[in-house]
Structure 1
Amino acid sequence: MTAAAVAAGLPLATAATSEQVGSPAVNIGIFVAFVLVTLVIVFRASRNNKTAADYYAAGRSFTGPQNGTAIAGDYLSAASFLGIAGAIALNGYDGFLYSIGFLVAWLVALLLVAELLRNTGRFTMADVLSFRLRQRPVRMAAAISTLAVVFFYLLAQMAGAGGLVALLLGVTSTAGQGLVIAVVGALMILYVLVGGMKGTTWVQIIKAILLIAGSAVMALWVLAQFGFNLSDLLAGAVAAGGEGGEALIEPGKQYGVSALTQLDFISLALALVLGTAGLPHVLMRFYTVPTGQEARRSVVWAIWLIGIFYLITLVLGYGAGALVGPETIRSAPGGANSAAPLLAYELGGVVLLGFISAVAFATILAVVAGLTITAAASFAHDIYANVIKHGHVNPDGEVRVARITVVGIGLLAIAGGIFANGQNIAFLVALAFAVAASANLPTIIYSLFWRRFNTSGALWSMYGGLVSAIVLIVFSPVVSGKVDPVTGDSLSMIRDTAVDFAVFPLSNPGIVSIPLGFLLGALGTVLSRETPDLERFAQMEVRSLTGAGSEKATVH
C-alpha cells in the first residue's frame, strides 16, 4: 500500500493485495546501503586471503564468541525469520514447533560433533571421514552429499528472496521474481568470490546483530500494543483468526488433522533435531576458530543467541496473526513468508518495513554466501585436490577452482530458486535438514565413535541415506499433487495440479531415510570383509578428544 493509501485510512488487507507494501524507493535505498556497506567489509577482509586456510577457514582467526555470533547469523536464515513467523501466524502452536526443533538440534551438535570435528578435520566434513577410511571414495561421497544438502538449502533462501522482494516492489510476474532471484545470486557470487570465509563471516556477524536487535524491537513493539501481556496477545491472534481461531493456541492445527499428519510431524521433528549436526555449512564454521575448545564456546554462544531469537519469533508470529490477520498474510505476495514484513509495516510504517526487509534480505545474502563457500570448498578441496589430483595441488590452484565452482553453484541456485519460488521456506529448509540427517550424520557418528566402522559402511550410509531422502522427496506431495482444500491451488513445486506422481504420503522423509542411513551404515560395515584400520582410529580418537596434532594434514 502506498503512503497516500495509508493516509486515506485504507485497511492493511488492501495493502497486501495491492502492487506493493511501503515505498519501493525507501526499500531499495536501504537494500543498496546495506549491500554497499557489506561489500566494503568484504573487500577489506579479502586483502588477507593469501592461503587456502584463509579462504576456507578465515585463517582460523575468529574467537568463540565471534564465531558463535557468525554461526547464529548463518543458522538464522530466511526460514527462521520469514518462514517461522509466517508458520506461527497461520498455524500457531504447530508453527512454533519449527523453532523448537531448530533450537534443540544445537544440543546434538554441541554434545556430539562440534569440538570433535574441529580437532579432527581441517576444512570440510570429508577431512574427518577420510582420516581413518579410504580417502578417494569417501571424499567423493561426502562432497556429493554436501552439494545435495547445500542445493536444497539454497532453494529455500532463493525462494525467500523472491517472495520478499515480490511483496516490497509489487513484482508479481514469474519473470520479475526470477530477475530478483538472479540479482541475489549475483550478489552471493560476488561476496564469496572476493571475501572468502573471512568476508562471509563478518557479513554473518553484522547480519546476526541486526536481525536479533531488529526482531527484539519489533517484539517489544508488538507486546506494547497488548500492554506487555502475552495472554492478551494470544487472545488477539485467536480473535483475528475468526472461526476456529482457538486452534492457533492448541496443538494439532497443522499436524493433528489425521494420523498421517501426526506421523508427518514426527518425521519433521526427527529431521530438525538431527539435521543440524550434519549440515555441512554449519560444520565448516567450526574450522574458523583456533582450537576445539573455542569451537565448543562458539556453539554455546550460538545456542544463547539462537534461543533468544526463537522466543522472539513466537511474539512476531502471533503478533502478525493478531495485527495483520491470517487472510491478509495468505493473500499477500509471498504468502506466509510475508508475515514479518507486513507486521513491520503495520507497526512502524515505511521506515520500519524498509529496515526489517533489508535485514531479511541481508539474512538471505549472508546464508547463501555461507552455503556457497561450503559447496565450493567441498568440490575444490575434496574432489579436485584430493580425488582428481591425489593431494598434489598447490593452494593457489585449489582456491582458483573453488572460485570457479562458486560461479557454477550460483547459477544452479538461481535456476533452482526460480523453480521453488512460492514455497514456504521453513518447510524447504526442513527438507535440507532431512537430507543432512540421513546422509551425513550417521557417517559422522559412526566414524567418530565406532571402532569397527569401515569405508563400505560409510559409502552405504552416505549414498543410501542421500538417495533414499531425495527419492522420497521427489515422490512426496512436496513435488506434486498437493492441493489447498479451500482454494484448490497447487501447494507443490509443480504448479499444474493435474500432475500427480506422489506415492510417498509424507511431506518430510526423515522418519524413513534417517533410520535407513544408520541401518545401511551398520549393514555395510558388518557385511564387508574390509578390515578396519584400528591404529588410525586410535589416532583419530586421541586427536578428536584432545586436539593433539589437529593442525596437521589429515589425509593418508
Structure 2
Amino acid sequence: MRRFLLPALPLLAAATPAYAAGSDGVNVTAVTMFIAIVLVTLGITYWAARRATSADQFYAAGGQISGFQNGVALAGDLVSAGALLGLAGLICSSGFDGLIFAVGYATGLPFVVFLVAERLRKLGRYTVADVLSTRLSETPIRIFTAVATLIIVMFYLIAQMVGAGQLIRLLFGLDYLYAQIFVGALMICYVMFGGMVATTWVQIIKAMLLLTAGFAISLLVLARFGFDYNALVAKALAVHPRHEAIMMPQVYSGSVWQSVSLGMTLMLGTSGLPHVLMRFFTVPDARAARVSVFWAVMCQSGFFALIFVLGFGALAIVAGDPAYLDAKGAIRGGGNMATIHLAHALGGDTLMGLVSAVAFATILAVVAGLTLTGASAVSHDLYARIIGRGRATERSEIRVSRMATVGLGILSVLLGIAFQTQNVAYMISLAYAVSCASTLPLLILALYWNGLTTRGALAGGVTGLVLALTLTVLGPPVWVKVLGNASPIFPIDPPTIVTMPLAFLTAFLVSVLDRKSVPEAAMPSAI
C-alpha cells in the first residue's frame, strides 16, 4: 500500500501553486495540511486493512458500527463536495436557485427514515439487491440492481472527482489530469485495503472537520458584518450584477413542471442512493438504524444552515474583490472554488489551507464510499451470487471487489476529465434523478406492496433507468452543456417528474398482468 501511494505525495509539495492571491511562494500551510490529511487517512486504512479479513467486515464493518458513529458517517456521505464547494458556489452565482438545492438535499434524509431505513436493516445483508432478492427472482434482480447501482455511483463520482480536480489545480498548479489521477489513486487505496471499516472512520473524521470548518468560516463571515445577517445579504445583493433579482428563482422560474421535478428529485432521491442505503447494514439492529438517521439529520441540517452564510459570504466578500477574479470577471478556478477563496479572504493562507485540506478529505471520503458501493455490486451481486451461484469463497469475492475498485477508479478519472466544467452540486442532482427512477420505485414496491412480481420489478426498473439516462442525455446537462448544442431536445431537467411515475406505473401494470397468469399459490410471499 505504501509503495502504491507515497511516490505521489511529492507531486503536491513540489508543484507551483496556481493560487496566488497574496503570494508568489508555495503555500506551505496548504501543502502541510494536505499531506497530513493523506497520511492520517492512510493510517486509518492500514489499521482497517488488518481487520477487514472477511466479507462481512469488508462490506459492512461486521455490523458493529454504533448508531451515533454511523449517523455521523452517513452525514459525511451526504455532506460532500457538492455541499462545501458546489452549493456555496451555486448560491454565490445564482442566489435563490442555490438555496433550492440546499433545502432539497436537507429534506431528503427524513424520507429515508419513514420509507426504508428500518425495513432495510431487518432484511438486508450487504447491498440493496439482498433486500429485493428476499421475495423476487434473484438472478435478474441482482443484475438489474448492480447495473443501476453502478450508474448512480458513477454520476455521483463525477461530481466528487470534478471538485477534487478543480481544488488541487487551483491550489497547487497541478494539471487537471494529474489531479484526477492523484485522487483516483488515493480512492483505490482506501477501498482496496480498508473496506467499509476504513471508509466509515474516514467519513466520521471528515464530517467532524467539515462541521467545525463550516462553523468557523460562518462566524468569521458574520463578524465582518457585525453579526447582522441582513447586512450580509444586502452587501451580496449589491455586488451581484442582477442585484435583488437573485432572490427570486432564475433557472426554475419558467416552468412549474421543472420546479416540481427538481423538488421530487432532491427530496426523494436520497432514499434510493445505494451508497447511503448500504450504511444501514453496518449497524447491529433496526433501532441503531433509526438512531443513525437522527444523528445524520442533525449534522446534515446544521451544515446546510451554514451554507446560506457561506454562499452569500462568498458573494459579498469574494465576488467583489478583483484579487479573486479572472480576466473575464469570473471567480478564479470556477464557481466551485468560491468557498476556498472565501477562506483565504477571511484568514489568509492558514485558514485557506485548513479549509482546502478539509474539502479534500471530504471528497476522498465520499469517493471511497461510492467506490466501495460500486465494487460491492460487482463482486457480491454479480460475481458471488450470479456467476459463482453462491459457491464463491469470501477470499475470491474480496479479490474481485478490489479488481472492480481499480476499474471504477480509472473510469471515474476519465469521467471527471470529461465533465470538468460542471457544477458539482448540480451533477449530484443527476445521480438523485437516476435513483428516483430505478432503485427507489423497486424498493418502495417490494417493501410495501404484496403484488410486486419479478417481471413487474424488472419492467419498471428498466423503464425508469433507460428513460432517466435518455432524457438526461437529451436534456440541458448533456445535450447542451457537454455536447454543445443550442437547445435541449427534452426541456425538463431533471426528468424525474416523467421517469419516476412511469417506473411505478410500469411495475404496477406488469405485476398485475403477471399475477393473473400465475396461480396464487405460486406467488412469492410479501415481506
- Deviations 1:460-513 (Å, cap 9, x if unpaired)? 1211111100001111121133xxxxxxxxxx123xx4x458311123111211
Q: CA deviation at 1:94?
A: 1.9
Q: 1:127-276 to 2 correspondence within 5 Å?
A: 127-171=130-174, 176-242=175-241, 244-248=242-246, 250-256=247-253, 258-259=254-255, 262-276=256-270
Q: Quick one: percent identity of the two aligned structures?
A: 44
Q: Which moved more, 1:387-396 or 1:292-301?
A: 387-396
DSSP 3-state at the match of 2:195: helix
Matched, 1:378 2:377: yes
1:77 is matched with which residue: 55, 75, 80?
80
Structure 1 spans left out of the alignment, 5+ residues: 1-14, 482-491, 541-556
Give the distance between the partners of 1:370 and 1:195, measured in 2 at CA: 11
The amino acid across from 1:400 in the alignment is: R
Partner of 2:4: none
Give the distance between the partners of 2:41 and 2:116, measured in 1 at CA: 31
The amino acid across from 1:385 in the alignment is: A
Q: Which moved more, 1:320-329 or 1:201-210?
A: 320-329
Q: CA deviation at 1:514?
A: 1.4
Q: TM-score by structure 2 length?
A: 0.92
Asked if 2 retains the 8 angstrom alpha-carbon contact of 1:22 and 1:349, the reply is no
Partner of 1:523: 509
DSSP 3-state at the match of 1:478: helix
Give the distance between the partners of 1:472 and 1:23, measured in 2 at CA: 45
Asked if 2 retains the 8 angstrom alpha-carbon contact of 1:345 and 1:352, the reply is yes
Partner of 1:298: 292
Q: CA deviation at 1:76?
A: 0.8
Q: 1:74-473 to 2 correspondence within 5 Å?
A: 74-171=77-174, 176-242=175-241, 244-248=242-246, 250-256=247-253, 258-259=254-255, 262-325=256-319, 331-473=330-472
Q: CA deviation at 1:383?
A: 0.6
The change in CA–CA distance for 1:83 and 1:166 in structure 2 (over 3 A counts) is same
The change in CA–CA distance for 1:534 and 1:199 in structure 2 (over 3 A counts) is farther
Matched, 1:44 2:47: yes
Number of residue equivalences: 503
1:514 is matched with which residue: 494, 500, 505?
500
The amino acid across from 1:479 in the alignment is: V
Give the distance between the partners of 2:99 and 2:26, measured in 1 at CA: 31
DSSP 3-state at the match of 2:245: helix
Give the distance between the partners of 2:521 and 2:125, measured in 1 at CA: 21
- Deviations 1:336-357 (Å, cap 9, x if unpaired)? 1011001001000101001101
The change in CA–CA distance for 1:443 and 1:22 in structure 2 (over 3 A counts) is farther
Asked if 1 retains the 8 angstrom alpha-carbon contact of 2:27 and 2:349, the reply is no
Give the distance between the partners of 1:139 and 1:75, measured in 2 at CA: 25
Matched, 1:493 2:479: no
DSSP 3-state at the match of 2:525: helix
Partner of 1:33: 36
Give the distance between the partners of 1:17 and 1:115, measured in 2 at CA: 50
DSSP 3-state at the match of 2:259: helix
The amino acid across from 2:262 in the alignment is: L
Give the distance between the partners of 2:215 and 2:156, measured in 1 at CA: 26
Give the distance between the partners of 1:110 and 1:359, measured in 2 at CA: 29
The change in CA–CA distance for 1:507 and 1:16 in structure 2 (over 3 A counts) is farther
Asked if 1 retains the 8 angstrom alpha-carbon contact of 2:45 and 2:198, the reply is yes
Asked if 2 retains the 8 angstrom alpha-carbon contact of 1:334 and 1:422, the reply is no
Q: CA deviation at 1:17?
A: 9.0
Partner of 1:549: none
DSSP 3-state at the match of 1:48: coil
Q: TM-score by structure 1 length?
A: 0.87
Asked if 1 retains the 8 angstrom alpha-carbon contact of 2:34 and 2:360, the reply is yes
Asked if 1 retains the 8 angstrom alpha-carbon contact of 2:19 and 2:172, the reply is no
Q: CA deviation at 1:281?
A: 0.1
Partner of 1:476: 475
The amino acid across from 2:410 in the alignment is: L
Asked if 2 retains the 8 angstrom alpha-carbon contact of 1:281 and 1:371, the reply is yes
Partner of 1:537: 525
Q: CA deviation at 1:156?
A: 0.6
The amino acid across from 2:304 in the alignment is: Y
Q: Could you say what the CA RMSD is over the residues aligned between the two structures, in angstroms?
A: 2.0
Asked if 2 retains the 8 angstrom alpha-carbon contact of 1:434 and 1:510, the reply is yes
DSSP 3-state at the match of 2:390: coil
- Deviations 1:107-146 (Å, cap 9, x if unpaired)? 1101111111011110000000010000000010000000
Partner of 2:6: none
Q: CA deviation at 1:532?
A: 7.0
The change in CA–CA distance for 1:334 and 1:20 in structure 2 (over 3 A counts) is farther
Asked if 2 retains the 8 angstrom alpha-carbon contact of 1:132 and 1:533, the reply is no
Asked if 2 retains the 8 angstrom alpha-carbon contact of 1:475 and 1:501, the reply is no
The change in CA–CA distance for 1:72 and 1:502 in structure 2 (over 3 A counts) is same
Partner of 1:544: none
Structure 2 spans left out of the alignment, 5+ residues: 1-17
Give the distance between the partners of 2:115 and 2:434, measured in 1 at CA: 19
